[in-house]
Amino acid sequence: MIADWEVAKTQGVCGGCGRSFEPGQEYYAALVEESEEAEEGEKEKSQASGGFERQDYCEECWERESPEAFCFWKTRVPEPAQKKKLLVDDEVLLEFFERLAEASERVKINFRFVLALILMRKRILKYQQTQLRDGQEIWIMGQVREQTKHEVVNPRLDDAGIEEVSEQLSAILRSEL
């Protein structure tokens, strides 16, 4: 898994102008869906990150190019002395979770399920009940604050599978450099 982390983590440079980010600089981090016609090398990368590629942009390039993103957030390069932040804000996690609702690909279903586990641990989502539908186990979950309902397919991952998906997720979401 270490290799996957290396591939998917942020490079600390702008995807537009190629300039390196400075400590304290604000930038946009985006999750971009891998395109079908990605080259072979790119494909391997997509498997490592579950169909998403992490792209970072400086504010200038973000505004000028407004790249298409599945999900994005604004973040800041930590000062060297600052404690490193492993994951993004809860709102970003929630937004990513919600946007994956329509996904039918296995990797995205896995992502959504593991995001649900994380959000449950953070007490943002609450498990309500399980329904069986077309041989699939569906978890009905409620968002604690907004009182909205969400359906999550249980991909029946074992512990090792959950661990692997969590690592892929942190690899594309982490904001440290």
Q: Which stretch binds Zn ion (CB under 5 A): 11-19, 32-40, 121-129, 149-157?
A: 11-19
Considering only residues 29, 32, 48, 58, which one is a binding residue for Zn ion as defined by CB under 5 A?
58
Distance CA 50, CA 7 (A): 12
Nearer to Zn ion (CB atom), residue 67 or residue 161: 67
User: Residue 61, CB half-sphere, CA atoms under 13 Å: how many?
Assistant: 20
**Nearer of residues 72 and 97 to Zn ion, judged by Cβ:** 72
Nearest CB to Zn ion, comparing residues 17 and 86: 17
Segment interacting with Zn ion, rule: CB under 5 A, options 6-14, 32-40, 103-111, 168-176:
6-14
**CA quadruple 141, 146, 148, 152: dihedral sign:** negative
* Count of residues near Zn ion by CB under 5 A: 5
Which of 8, 14, 32, 109 is the binder for Zn ion (CB under 5 A)? 14
117: number of Cβ within 10 Å: 17
List of residues 6+ apart from 19 with CB closer than 8 A: 13, 58
- The mark string for 157-176 relative to Zn ion (x by CB under 5 A, - otherwise) is --------------------
User: Dihedral (C-alpha) 87, 93, 96, 97: value to the nearest 10 degrees?
Assistant: 130
